[in-house]
């Protein structure tokens, strides 16, 4: 008899375990559960500022006229869950999502509109990697820190070049990376600001080399300044790629005949030191209006 009773009790317990749990009515659901299933709505800046001190100094920034939710999206779920829902945080989304929020307004700016096609955009760099959205200390462009520090934080090779004996004075603050490069567009790689090529970036400062000249030096006009010079820094004077000028010239003006460049005249014995300083005679090597051999 007892085994039968025990068996019935065990069977009844098994049935009870297999019964589905009763569904909660909306009134029985917690606020957190309801917030998680309800479509998000806007709550207004005042609600955001009750927790987020980061927006306290927002009024003096260029974004002051924008609502928090214009960029972050409706915040009701975030607020109702006590911050547990992170969907309004840029950190909770991939860089492309964050960039799209920025481009909703800044996409009409011609300097920014091609960002997704440029190297930074293609490689998944987020706008807020370099820019502060609501800073307490407003810098030009809302940059997080000095421009050069942002750039060399990733571009370590350029930093090393700027530390060489002869370099453009970027680390010293006399120039900025953006004088030559555009971080948001790519008219010409590597993100050069001047669409016509790197030579145009150079002659914006080195105006005496601009031309046009009656007698053009082919490397300057065709291959740009980087045929002979390094753009950031070098161990050689004038940022030259070679430590001896004649070795640089011989890269094109070799003793081997070619159809593009002239051979040195027969009396140029390059074994003699006399003929190793090409620029002693050929002084206008960037181009001349008077002499096809760039003698003056």
User: What are the residue ranges spanned by the domains of the chain?
Assistant: 88-145, 157-182+192-296
pLDDT at 243: 92
For CA atoms 197, 202, 207, 212, the dihedral sign is negative
Which residues, other chains included, contact 216 with Cβ-Cβ below 8 Å and sequence gap of 6+? 287
- From first to last of its 296 residues, the chain has per-residue pLDDT tens of 555 555 544 445 554 455 554 555 555 455 555 545 668 899 998 899 899 887 666 778 888 888 899 999 999 999 999 999 999 999 899 999 999 999 999 999 988 988 998 999 999 999 999 998 888 777 888 999 999 999 999 999 999 999 999 999 999 999 999 999 999 987 777 788 776 556 888 988 999 998 899 999 988 877 789 889 999 999 999 999 999 998 998 888 877 766 556 667 767 887 888 888 889 999 999 999 999 999 98
Model pTM? 0.75
CA–CA separation, 28 vs 284, rounded Å? 88
Check residue 216 and report its DSSP letter. Answer: E
Q: 164-200 as b/e, with b when 16 or more CB fall inside 10 Å?
A: eeebbebeeeebebbebbbbbbbebeebbbbeebbbb
State residue 73's pLDDT score: 92
Q: What is the pLDDT of residue 111?
A: 86
CA distance linking residue 228 with residue 223, whole number of Å: 9
Give pLDDT, residue 15: 47
pLDDT for position 14: 53
Cβ atoms within 10 Å of 114's Cβ, excluding its own: 15
Are 154 and 144 in contact, with CB atoms under 8 Å apart? Answer: no
């Amino acid at each position: 008899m007892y085994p039968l009773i025990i068996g019935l009790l065990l069977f009844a317990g098994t049935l009870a375990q297999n019964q589905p749990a009763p569904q909660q009515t909306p009134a029985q659901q917690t606020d957190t559960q309801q917030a998680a299933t309800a479509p998000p709505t806007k709550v207004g800046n005042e609600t955001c500022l009750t927790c987020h001190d980061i927006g306290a100094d927002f009024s003096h920034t260029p974004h002051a006229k924008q609502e928090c939710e214009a960029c972050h999206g409706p915040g009701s779920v975030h607020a109702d869950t006590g911050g547990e829902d992170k969907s309004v945080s840029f950190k909770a989304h991939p860089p492309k999502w964050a960039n799209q929020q920025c481009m909703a307004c800044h996409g009409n700016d011609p300097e920014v509109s091609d960002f997704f096609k440029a190297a930074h955009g293609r490689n998944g760099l987020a706008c807020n990697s370099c820019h502060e959205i609501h800073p307490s200390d407003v810098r030009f462009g809302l940059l997080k820190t000095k421009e050069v520090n942002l750039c060399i934080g990733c571009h370590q090779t350029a930093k090393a070049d700027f530390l060489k004996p002869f370099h453009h004075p970027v680390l010293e603050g006399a120039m900025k990376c953006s004088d030559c490069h555009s971080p948001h567009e790519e008219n010409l790689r590597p993100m050069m600001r001047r669409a016509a090529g790197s030579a145009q970036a150079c002659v914006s400062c080195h105006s005496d080399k601009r031309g046009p000249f009656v007698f053009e030096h082919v490397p300057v006009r065709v291959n740009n300044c980087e045929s002979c010079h390094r753009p950031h820094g070098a161990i050689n004077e004038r940022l030259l790629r070679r430590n001896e000028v004649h070795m640089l010239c011989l890269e094109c003006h070799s003793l081997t005949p070619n159809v593009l460049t002239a051979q040195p005249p027969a009396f140029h014995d390059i074994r003699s030191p006399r003929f190793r300083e090409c620029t002693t005679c050929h002084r206008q090597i960037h181009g001349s209006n008077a002499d096809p051999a760039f003698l003056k």
